């Protein structure tokens, strides 16, 4: 992706109306200088979400989410930075210019676009072939039997791959694509004899598209019993990573945002049947378990995911990992237990099926509780060996939940059922805590630089509250601010506060005009500080008082350190310093009134 030029980035920021963008996700009303509403990132009843239309920033005082318009789109639509900029540019009619980049990267980007075009054309070819060719008659019949109408099939561009060995190969070559390119996107494969032939033949084709409706791969369902695998997917390519894809996401994303939840099912036809029945927040995982990557992709969009999968059959390890990622992102994973031997697609065809499915969704239970009941249900509690085995199985599930009331509840349930002391069960849970991943250690996802779980303002230490108040006033009163920023040292500040102070020293005039993209925590804090600066009273006296209180904390930390090193002389000197400081603080408090 070529870099978007700084000027066009600036034009996008100027053109985008943050109140309008946010209003698509929550109702905002004006309150003084800000717009306020219920936070679109966490559940709440009283509004703690603020938008500053002038500075084009948002911040939630409840969950700590915050940033500029681009950041909002990134988080809410689950897009990368460049994609979010493109979306806003589209919406506000800004033409994006790109920086010249090194020729190799430019060539790769062009090649990617070319191959994307090949995949889109091939999807269109398969779709036309389904409706027009004689040999697809059986496929049309099969889809109709499953109750799938033309409208939904066309919406998802369902198609049919001809039975010939080389139709796609020849079409592609005629259109100017090389065999290596056709192989690179997984449409053609090499046979044992070295010749190339179409990977998908005589199959119903389901194009797998990304959020922006670009075809990246295919799933193909066999139409004959002698065809080997019932389902064949595109092999892993540079384009296509099955574990990251959600089938139907391009058509489901609006409904997901609206419903505040995503419904995850296993197969292609399940997704189609649900959409046809009006349950448009459904997406498919193309397997029996949801992956960590899929959870991460959904976490930007919703707080809750309901799995209508065959959860008994899913690999427990995979579900545990998904659960850990979900817990780290404050997202709920619930399971709607499907009746044995019936998938959602079959249910939709049956009388009253959609209603029954909706009730299952409403009655969904937490994934962890579901898994634990599954283990307990198949344990013979009369056998000590089986009870031991069950405990070994549930301990990592409970450990992955992190400390919570619902975990305590489950621990009690396990103890009762296995006839053990709750404390003993808890001991095993603590011992089973993973060395990395899950609460207590970074998940793989966080290690890749995803935002750490945010903290609400209520969870801050008194020092953090003080430093934030002071830094906000440094923005509100820039002249005094530069003075205080010069006086602040590392010992006064938390690590994040120190980063914010450095940022403010470097960007004294307009701290929010170009938030640091590589540091989500810092850009969130800067957004918060600017919004607070706009709205809350500031005075040199209040700044002085906050500074002195931070100074007191710094000296107290030094006193403690001197004590640990048995340096009594230093400690005594510091204590005298503190006493003088306490008097100054008392004076400053009187001055401030």
Give min distance, CB of 454 to Zn ion, in A: 8
Within 54-73, which residues bind Zn ion (CB under 5 A)?
60, 62-63
How far, rounded to the nearest angstrom, does the alpha carbon of residue 156 sit from its chain's CA centroid?
24
Contact 179, 196 (CB under 8 A): yes
Binding mask 167-186 toward Zn ion (x if CB under 5 A, else -) reads: --------------------
The one-character DSSP state at 400 is T
With respect to Zn ion, which residue has the nearer C-beta, 41 or 200?
41
Give min distance, CB of 565 to Zn ion, in A: 43
Size of the residue set binding Zn ion (CB under 5 A): 6
Structure tokens at 369: 């509780």
Give min distance, CB of 503 to Zn ion, in A: 23
Structure tokens at 575: 């204590």
Give min distance, CB of 60 to Zn ion, in A: 3
Give min distance, CB of 366 to Zn ion, in A: 22
Which are the contacts of 351, defined by CB distance < 8 A and separation ≥ 6?
none
**Full DSSP string of 310-355:** -TTTS-HHHHHHHHHHHHHTT-EEEE--PPTT--HHHHHHSTTHHH
Phi, psi of 510 (to 5 degrees): -145, 75
Question: Directed axis angle between helix 520-535 and helix 462-476, to 10°?
Answer: 60
With respect to Zn ion, which residue has the nearer C-beta, 452 or 580?
452
Check residue 527 for interaction with Zn ion (CB under 5 A): no
Q: 231-267 in b/e burial notation, b at 16+ Cβ within 10 A?
A: ebbbeebebbebeebbbbbbbbbebbbeeebbbbbbb
Binding mask 33-52 toward Zn ion (x if CB under 5 A, else -) reads: ------x-xx----------
Give min distance, CB of 63 to Zn ion, in A: 3
Give min distance, CB of 499 to Zn ion, in A: 22
For residue 30, give the 3-state DSSP assignment.
strand
The one-character DSSP state at 98 is B
Check residue 332 for interaction with Zn ion (CB under 5 A): no
- Rounded Cα distance between 15 and 265, Å, is 39
Give min distance, CB of 192 to Zn ion, in A: 58
The order of strands in the sheet holding 304-307 is 282-284, 261-265, 304-307, 332-335, 365-366
Within 114-133, which residues bind Zn ion (CB under 5 A)?
none
- Rounded Cα distance between 68 and 85, Å, is 11
With respect to Zn ion, which residue has the nearer C-beta, 62 or 248?
62
Question: Directed axis angle between helix 384-399 and helix 367-377, to 10°?
Answer: 170
Give min distance, CB of 506 to Zn ion, in A: 28
Enumerate binding residues for Zn ion (CB under 5 A).
39, 41-42, 60, 62-63
């Amino acid at each position: 992706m070529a870099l978007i030029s700084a000027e066009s980035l600036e034009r996008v920021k100027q053109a985008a109306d943050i109140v309008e963008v946010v209003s698509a996700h929550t109702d905002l009303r004006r309150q003084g200088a800000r717009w306020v509403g219920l936070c679109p990132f966490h559940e709440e009843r009283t509004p703690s979400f603020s938008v500053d239309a002038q500075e084009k920033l948002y911040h939630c005082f409840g969950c700590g989410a915050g940033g500029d318009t681009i950041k909002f789109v990134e988080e809410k639509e689950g897009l990368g930075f460049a994609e979010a900029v493109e979306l806003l540019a589209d919406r506000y009619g800004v033409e994006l210019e790109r920086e010249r980049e090194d020729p190799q990267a430019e060539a790769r980007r062009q090649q990617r676009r070319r191959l994307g075009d090949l995949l889109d054309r091939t999807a269109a070819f398969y779709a036309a072939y389904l409706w027009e060719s004689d040999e697809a008659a059986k496929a049309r019949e099969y889809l109709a039997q499953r109750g799938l109408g033309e409208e939904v099939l066309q919406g998802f561009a369902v198609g049919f791959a001809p039975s010939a060995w080389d139709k796609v190969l020849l079409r592609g070559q005629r259109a100017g694509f090389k065999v290596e390119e056709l192989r690179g996107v997984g449409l053609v494969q090499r046979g044992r004899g070295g010749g190339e032939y179409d990977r998908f033949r005589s199959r119903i084709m389901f194009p797998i598209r990304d959020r922006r409706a670009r075809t990246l791969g295919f799933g193909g369902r066999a139409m004959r019993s002698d065809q080997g695998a019932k389902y064949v997917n595109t092999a892993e390519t540079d384009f296509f990573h099955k574990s990251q894809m959600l089938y139907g996401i391009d058509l489901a994303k609006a409904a997901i945002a609206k419903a505040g939840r995503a419904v995850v099912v296993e197969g292609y036809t399940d997704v189609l049947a649900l959409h046809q029945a009006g349950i448009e927040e459904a997406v498919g995982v193309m397997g029996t378990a949801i992956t960590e990557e899929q959870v991460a992709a959904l976490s930007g969009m919703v707080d809750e995911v309901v799995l209508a999968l065959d959860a008994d059959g899913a690999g427990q390890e995979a579900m545990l990992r998904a659960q850990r990622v979900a817990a780290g992102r404050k997202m709920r994973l619930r399971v709607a237990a499907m009746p044995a031997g019936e998938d959602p697609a079959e249910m939709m065809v049956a009388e009253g099926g959609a209603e029954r499915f909706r009730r299952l969704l409403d009655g969904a239970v937490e994934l962890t509780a579901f898994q634990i009941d599954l283990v307990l249900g198949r344990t013979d509690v009369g056998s000590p060996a089986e009870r031991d085995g069950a405990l070994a199985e549930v301990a990592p599930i409970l450990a992955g939940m992190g400390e919570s009331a619902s975990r305590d509840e489950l621990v009690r349930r396990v103890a009762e059922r296995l006839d053990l002391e709750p404390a003993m069960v808890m001991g095993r849970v603590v011992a089973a805590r993973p060395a990395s991943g899950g609460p207590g250690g970074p998940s793989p996802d966080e290690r890749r630089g995803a935002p750490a779980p945010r903290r609400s303002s209520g969870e801050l230490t008194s020092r953090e509250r003080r430093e934030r108040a002071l830094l906000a006033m440094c923005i509100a009163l820039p002249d005094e601010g530069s003075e205080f920023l010069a006086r602040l040292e590392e010992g006064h500040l938390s690590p994040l506060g120190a980063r914010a102070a450095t940022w403010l020293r470097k960007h004294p005039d307009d701290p929010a005009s170009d938030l640091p993209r590589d540091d989500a925590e810092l850009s969130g804090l800067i957004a918060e500080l600017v919004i607070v600066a706009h709205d809350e009273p500031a005075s040199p006296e209040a700044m002085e008082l906050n500074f002195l209180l931070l100074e007191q904390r710094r000296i107290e930390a030094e006193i403690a350190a001197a004590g640990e090193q048995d340096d009594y002389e230093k400690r005594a000197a510091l204590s005298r310093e503190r006493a003088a400081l306490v008097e100054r603080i008392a004076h400053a408090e009187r001055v401030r009134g």
